[in-house]
Amino acid sequence: MSYLTPTTLDAALGALSGRDTEAPVSVIAGGTDWFPAQGERAYNGTLLDVTRVEGMRGVSAVGTGWRIGGATTWSDILHADLPPAFDGLKLAAREVGSVQIQNAGTVAGNICNASPAADGVPPLLSLDAEVELTSTRGVRRLVLAEFITGVRKTARAADEIVTALYIPALSAGARGGFTKIGGRKYLVISVAMVGAVLTLSGGRIATARITVGSASPVALRMGDLENALVGADLAEALERVTPERLAALSPISDIRGSAEFRGEAVVEAIRRTLTQIMKGQAHG
């Protein structure tokens, strides 16, 4: 195995450009998904560590929105000064493994790994996140829902690096929330999780973006529910969270829970998230 740790984006992209499958190059950031996935096999390709590439780390305001650099860790998110719409992403950051994992693991790594149980994905989908992909061929941007195409599948080409995520302008009063339901309190893989961003007007929901993870191959926005929630106060909102409005989900039965338990867990997780946000209890 060989190891590269470029400090410029040009050098990093050059290392990925024109490689064939005979000499694979794996991008790594925190390595917290990559390492355990290797198991006992000895990796013989090249590892391209992107954490020292200039400009890849940290969160900044750009134009009317926000940029999350492609090597930004979960701890960086937790300690960044961000508006309340990011409270859901911050709560998710606190749930990713342990602090040891959060200090190494990155937001980009979480979405590139594309696990159905990735905690970062529901809050990012509710923030309408876009993914910036860069290669020697150029730069393109995809909305997150188009970037993640299936279980552990993304639209990233082998020569592309996720250089940043962008969060478009948020309305001033937007508030985020997040709920993860797992088998025990900490260090769990989710049974179901919900990320939401709401704007409120006089105690009623003006706009809602609700995303459910772990209950379908790729986390999904609940469009029917989002529409149904408009105009509701908290009590009405809780009533409107019905299984019919979550029909797009396809919860599976596995070692962490039956499909039925997952379905109930989703309803409960959405209700908790709405309560969290509408009572102002979401804190990162």
Ligand X SMILES: Cc1cc2nc3c(=O)[nH]c(=O)nc-3n(C[C@H](O)[C@H](O)[C@H](O)COP(=O)(O)OP(=O)(O)OC[C@H]3O[C@@H](n4cnc5c(N)ncnc54)[C@H](O)[C@@H]3O)c2cc1C
Pick the piece of the chain touching another protein (CB under 8 A) from 6-14, 30-38, 115-123, 155-163.
30-38
Q: Would you count residue 98 as binding another protein (CB under 8 A)?
A: yes
Q: Where are the beta strands (DSSP E) in 54-159?
A: 59-62, 65-69, 130-135, 138-143, 148-150, 153-154
Instruction: Considering the complex, state which of residue 161 and residue 246 has its C-beta at the smaller distance from ligand X.
Output: 161
HSE-up (13 A, CA, CB side) for residue 185: 0
Q: Where are the beta strands (DSSP E) in the chain?
A: 2-4, 25-28, 46-49, 59-62, 65-69, 130-135, 138-143, 148-150, 153-154, 161-167, 175-181, 192-201, 204-213, 220-221
Q: Would you count residue 23 as binding another protein (CB under 8 A)?
A: no
Q: Would you count residue 185 as binding another protein (CB under 8 A)?
A: yes
Q: Would you count residue 2 as binding another protein (CB under 8 A)?
A: yes
Instruction: Considering the complex, state which of residue 129 and residue 282 has its C-beta at the smaller distance from another protein.
Output: 282
Supply the minimum distance, in Å, between the C-beta of residue 57 and another protein: 13
- Pick from 125, 167, 119, 115: nearest CA to 146: 125
Supply the minimum distance, in Å, between the C-beta of residue 84 and another protein: 18
State which of positions 69-88 bind another protein (CB under 8 A): 75
Instruction: Considering the complex, state which of residue 100 and residue 258 has its C-beta at the smaller distance from another protein.
Output: 100
Q: Would you count residue 180 as binding another protein (CB under 8 A)?
A: no
Beta carbons within 8 Å of 163's beta carbon, 6+ residues apart? 9, 56, 69, 70, 132, 133, 134, 139
Return phi, psi of residue 126, to 5°. -70, -20
Pick the piece of the chain touching another protein (CB under 8 A) from 25-33, 57-65, 147-155, 175-183.
25-33
Q: Applying CB under 8 A, what is the total number of residues that bind another protein?
A: 26
Q: Which of 8, 24, 43, 136 binds another protein (CB under 8 A)?
A: 43
Both tokens of 168, joined, read: 């478009």
Choose among another protein, ligand X, none what residue 248 binds, the Cβ cut-off being 5 to 8 Å by kind.
none
Within 10 Å of residue 60's Cβ, how many Cβ atoms? 12
Supply the minimum distance, in Å, between the C-beta of residue 26 and ligand X: 5
Q: Quick check: 238 and 163 in contact, CB under 8 A?
A: no
Supply the minimum distance, in Å, between the C-beta of residue 128 and ligand X: 20
Q: Would you count residue 26 as binding another protein (CB under 8 A)?
A: no
CA 42 to chain CA mean position, Å? 29
Q: Would you count residue 255 as binding another protein (CB under 8 A)?
A: no
Give contact residues for another protein (rule: CB under 8 A). Answer: 1-3, 5, 30-32, 35-36, 42-43, 47, 49, 51, 75, 94, 97-101, 103-104, 185-187
